[in-house]
Structure 1
Amino acid sequence: MIGRYNNTQRLNITLSNPIVEELNTFVDELGTKKSHLIEEALTYYFDMLDEKLASKRLKELEEGKVKTVPAKDVWKELGL
């Protein structure tokens, strides 16, 4: 995915040796670049976090901890 976007940023990160060894194993096996594999892994991880947060929000809604605002009220507030 690096190279797929015009706006990329170089990062300097520190990883434990076991993670680096596993990363190198997968990179060699898949014939890809470390940056590509890390970006793919983070993308999947962020998707999982999105799902986790959505479940948390749904639970809060079901428990009455948060309330929704009807669309017509939002439109009225925005003058639409």
Structure 2
Amino acid sequence: MSVVKKLVSLDSAVANELEMLSKTLNITQKELIERALDFYFDHTDSIIAKKISEDVANGKIKVYDAQEVFTDMGLV
């Protein structure tokens, strides 16, 4: 996996907590931030999936049968 550098500014209280927690867990601040972001992204994915499911159930989003899509596209 490639690495991309990002420059971010943190509130001093958040920066201090990041430093203390990374020392306590004996991991780098980079690793702690990556873990936190992975957790947050997983969490927001579940929120989005729930909303999409609700929209499908309420008829706000139409779900198409795969065979119907393939036929419309001339693939079958």
TM-score, normalising length: structure 2: 0.91
From 51, 57, 72, give the equivalent of 2:52: 57
Bigger relative contact order (CA 8 A; separation at least 6): 1
CA gap 1:16/1:58 in 2 versus in 1, 3 angstroms: same
In structure 2, C-alpha distance between the alignment counterparts of 1:73 and 1:37, rounded to whole Å? 46
Alignment coverage as a number of residue pairs = 75
Unaligned runs of 5+ in 2: none
TM-score, length basis structure 1 = 0.86
Give the equivalent residue in structure 2 for 1:66: 61
Partner of 1:30: 25
Identity across matched positions, percent: 27
2:8 aligned residue (7, 13, 20): 13
1:79 partnered with 2:75: yes
Runs (4+) off by over 3 Å:
none
Question: Which structure 1 segments of 5+ residues have no match?
Answer: none
* Counterpart for residue 46 of structure 1: 41
Distance verdict in 2 for CA 1:20–1:50, change over 3 Å: same
* Matching residue's letter, 1:62: A
Alignment RMSD: 1.1
